A and B are shown apart, each in its own frame.
Chain A
């Protein structure tokens, strides 16, 4: 092989490498493909035993939280934010329905979900189904929860859960998540823009 030939082969390799690097960079810079729209759903009961699904909230925005009432920090903090949003919406409050879906339904039903939530805001609807319906609801919203055995906790266990708030549109389509500790003003501004 002549020196010239070797040089040609090497330069060809360099060219391929350059094309490869550029292609990778271009692929990396491409925006994330938009999330395919999805319509989460559930079949869960309020304290009076009436079953609700997402179709019951068609025409309004739903602000959905998954939590449990024995939670002393994350859940009251988030429910306070939700209550503030509802207050600040003023006359537009009837266009938004805040939902609290219990991931600890048996205990929450026993201790009373409606009275607890009303203390934050009367508009918040508490829903607590059976274990299977709760599991199905969380899977539909793609949220995680777990029961953690803890002898020191009330009743010997505590719950871990996704602490975000989920916004569902008037047509039932999942719009976005507000991560834990998103200020009420930010949530309000987002919802007002959509209204």
Chain B
């Protein structure tokens, strides 16, 4: 009986443990979702910004920059591995073709947040404004995940 009570108790908490839905913001044909970053150790090293951008519209758009109050400077980068050497050239913009989903994701395009005003702490979140050529500015809540996180850890919805 005691075991049953424990099992029932656990069952009740299960929905709470289920993965929450990602914050999601739409502008025109674009939907910006699943924004996340990794916790930092101190604020001297740059932090990262990852997000998914779905273009359900008929026209292509471009992400030209990002902005956030938690960093003095931001930049779009792309990780390139060429002949066994990884480098991180600037990306002037990230193309968002019509009817496609583009991810700023590990090993690919990513935002770099430099000059952090404070360390990023796991469990917190901060706003990032994405600047699109056509859709304009889109602000999204960005979750700070573990320094070991590899993906957004929420349902794209």
Contacts and interface: CB of A to CB of B under 8 A. Distances in A.
A153 B75 CA distance: 9
A111 B44 contact: yes
B147 A76 contact: yes
A162 B73 contact: no
Interface residues on B, range: 20 to 34
A73 B149 CA distance: 11
Given A73-B106, A73-B107, A74-B79, A83 B148 contact: yes
A119 B145 CA distance: 13
Interface string B28-57: 000000000011011011111000000000
Interface stretch (B4-12, B82-90, B125-133): B82-90
A154 B86 contact: no
B102 interface: no
B41 A119 contact: yes
Contacts of B86: 74, 160-163, 180
Interface in A112-142: 112, 115-116, 119-120
A111 B88 contact: no
A119 B40 CA distance: 9
Given A77-B107, A160-B86, A72 B47 contact: yes
A17 to B, nearest CB: 36
A144 B85 contact: yes
A60 interface: no
Given A72-B47, A84-B148, A116 B81 contact: no
Nearest to B114: A154
A63 to B, nearest CB: 16
A83 B149 CA distance: 11
Contacts of B147: 76, 80, 119-120
B29 to A, nearest CB: 28
A111 B42 contact: yes
A180 B45 CA distance: 22
Interface of A: 69-74, 76-77, 79-81, 83-84, 111-112, 115-116, 119-120, 144-146, 148, 152-154, 158, 160-164, 180-181
15 contacts: A74-B88, A77-B106, A79-B148, A80-B148, A80-B149, A84-B148, A115-B41, A116-B41, A144-B84, A146-B85, A152-B73, A154-B44, A160-B88, A162-B86, A181-B107
